[in-house]
Amino acid sequence: MQVRIRGRQVHLMVSHYHRYDPNTQTGGRNTVETKHKFPASALEIPANIAEQLTDEETEKVMQVAIRPARERERQRLERVQAEQVVAAMHGIDPNWRIKGATEFLTDVRSVYDEKGPELDMPALANIVVQCAEIAVRASSISRMPAETSALFLMSLATSISRIATQVGSDAFPAADKGNVKESPMYKVWMEVGEARAALQTSLQKKAFVQKREKKD
């Protein structure tokens, strides 16, 4: 019996020899007949076919068709599993999302112009708040929480320094006369001071910053 794979089908073929007939001048050759066929993706020999095969024929079908099909299926399942792992990691990977957000913000910076619509500062400030929340979450599960927290704090410190430079420039308006303590800049200065004091207390608690001893 011959086992051949044609397209998506396995053909089990038998050969018949036809004696030569001098009267009809026919025969003297072999013809091949497909006795059984089944899908090439089959992982077992179909029961109705298996019961008609000898042990030798069964082994031949296993070698040519079934074992290769099982190997292909194993490899397919491995690929599916690997793709699922990649998809799962992609689903929880924040970095490609940060890359996209960075591209959007870079685009905002490049197109923002005084001739265009006024920037929605509350919305921008909310983005900064969200970044801080993400940074806190990231540092809480990081293997190096001190380093990651310091990195984000440094970016905030740099941002405050840039704003300080802008406020100190000649182009920035001075405070109006009157109750300066009601101005937005004074209020934010008080908030910054409280935030700095809170950070100092936390850093002292963890011995990153030494407490100053009061002199008598």
Report if residue 177 sits inside a domain.
Answer: no
- State the helix-helix crossing angle for 121-141 and 145-168, rounded to 10 degrees: 160
Same domain, 123 and 78: no
Rounded Cα distance between 150 and 146, Å, is 6
Report if residue 54 sits inside a domain.
Answer: yes
- Could you read off the pLDDT of 42-55 as tens digits, one per residue? 999 999 999 999 99
Same domain, 65 and 8: yes
pLDDT band at 24 (very low <50, low <70, confident <90, very high): low
Q: Which residues contact 135 (CB under 8 A, 6 or more apart)?
A: 148, 149, 152
Same domain, 17 and 54: yes
Q: What is the per-residue pLDDT for 179?
A: 86
Range of the domain at 19: 2-91
Same domain, 14 and 74: yes
Report if residue 125 sits inside a domain.
Answer: yes
Which of 20-34, 61-75, 132-146, 153-167 has the lowest average pLDDT?
20-34
Rounded Cα distance between 140 and 134, Å, is 10
Domain count, the chain: 2
Report if residue 208 sits inside a domain.
Answer: no
Rounded Cα distance between 4 and 32, Å, is 12
Q: What is the per-residue pLDDT for 21?
A: 66
Rounded Cα distance between 52 and 12, Å, is 11
- Could you read off the pLDDT of 148-206 as tens digits, one per residue? 999 999 999 999 999 999 999 999 999 988 888 989 999 999 999 999 999 999 999 99
Q: What is the DSSP letter of 26?
A: B
- Could you read off the pLDDT of 5-17 as tens digits, one per residue? 999 999 999 887 7
Exposure letters 18-48 (e unless 16+ CB within 10 A, then b)? eeeeeeeeeeeeeeeeeebebebebeebeee
pLDDT band at 102 (very low <50, low <70, confident <90, very high): very high
CA nearest to 153, candidates 92, 202, 96: 202
Report if residue 184 sits inside a domain.
Answer: no
Report if residue 49 sits inside a domain.
Answer: yes
Report if residue 183 sits inside a domain.
Answer: no
